[in-house]
Structure 1
Amino acid sequence: MDGPAELLRDFVNTYDVEGDTDELASPAELAVWLRERGLISETDRAVDDDWALAIGLREGLRSALRHNHSRGDDRQAMTAGLDAALTALPMRVTLAGGAPASDPLSTGATRGLGLLAAAVLDAHARGDWPRLKVCAEDGCQWAFIDSSKNRSRSWCSMRICGNRTKTRAYRARRQQDTPRPS
């Protein structure tokens, strides 16, 4: 299994903003997604409340990752949606072996979502959290792991989203520089 950063990236990417398609369009699809990643058992099912919590967690993560591009200090406003979703998940934090560990206190799909919340803590502990970002292209918002040395990557793909953004900026500059006929 991949690490916590990959798991969180994949969870955020269950909704494709550009294509407006959602892998988690129902509680049943949420259960399948969690089951395929070993976060719940074969017999666990998800209900509407689990599904609503999953969507809140996913979009809270997307919002928080969007702000991993910035170096500002307004983190509280940036993570409000994520904090709200995390608060809804009953968790226990312990100092097992001297390192903090988290364990969901629920069962079924809610436990699976709690394991996703624990992945947030794990990504922070491993130092991977600042590398988790969403594409700066507003129409895309695809989550990715910034593997650049200086953590400056802005787009999921330079060929597609980076090119779109730079082309728009170039055209806007050209339009401003072009004298208008009298």
Structure 2
Amino acid sequence: MPFGHDMVHSLATVVDLINTSPATGGPDRLTDLRELGEFVDRHQVSGVGELGTADLNQVRAVRDAFHKVFTAPDQATAVIRLNTLLSGTRITPRLTEHDGHPLHVHYFAPGASVGEHLSADLGVALAHLLVEGEWERLRTCSAPDCDNVFVDESRNRSRVYCDSRTCGNRMHVAAYRARRRA
């Protein structure tokens, strides 16, 4: 399934957000306002004012909710979890152009907190993915020491590692060495 620019950006943002969590096996990379600010800047999250502790706590809760969507055992559970997340969000779709980006849709309400912004925009992107019957594209890395999530954008839905250069390469080298020893 080819994804449009907005969808690719939103899916990459939700993956990066989830992968800041210690639930994915690494350190918590969203522990303070500086890290939250860096995340907001890196993903060009627009319309965000001064960040506070409440924003950090809200974004961390949103991160956990999105992680539960990605790790749902089946599509029906993913739908329930995503609907629960979206039900707490004021969604106000509108067309916008900003920061050199072409016309696109924002779903967060004007004046929304960064947590609501992420819930709305990223949640709607995941909703579109589920509506298209593409739930199985939400994956967790198959490397035994990695629990990072990713969206499989491959044509034949065959991607199994979060990053082919790190986890994929490491697993292929390990398999090669095991074959050589045998």
Normalising by the residue count of structure 2, what TM-score does the alignment of the two structures yield?
Answer: 0.60
- Please state how far the C-alpha of 1:46 moved relative to its aligned partner: 3.5
In the alignment of these two chains, the number of paired residues is 154
1:78/1:132 Cα in 2 relative to 1: closer, same or farther (>3 Å)? closer
Is 1:75 aligned to 2:82, yes or no?
no
CA–CA distance in structure 2, aligned partners of residues 160 and 79 of structure 1: 34
Q: Distance in 2 between matches of 1:154 and 1:26?
A: 32
Flag the 1:161–1:55 CA change in 2: closer, same or farther, 3 A: farther
SS at match of 2:92: strand
Q: RMSD in angstroms over aligned alpha carbons? A: 3.8
Residue of 155, 161, 172 corresponding to 2:161:
155
1:104 to 103, 108, 118: 108
Greater Cα shift, 80-89 or 125-134: 125-134
Partners in 1 of 2:62 and 2:83 — Cα distance?
Answer: 9
**Mind listing any 5+ residue stretches in structure 1 that lack a counterpart?**
95-100, 171-182
Instruction: Determine the C-alpha separation between the residues in 1 that align with 2:82 and 2:171.
Output: 25
2:65–2:81 CA contact under 8 A, matched in 1: yes
- SS class of match (1:22): coil
Counterpart residue number, 1:63: 68
Q: What 5-or-longer segments of structure 2 have no aligned partner? A: 95-104
Cα distance in 1 for partners of 2:61, 2:50 equals 20
How far did residue 91 of structure 1 move? 1.0
Aligned to 1:14, the other structure's residue is in SS state coil
Q: Structure 1-normalised TM-score?
A: 0.60
CA drift of 1:161 comes to 5.7
Q: How many angstroms does 1:154 deviate by?
A: 3.1
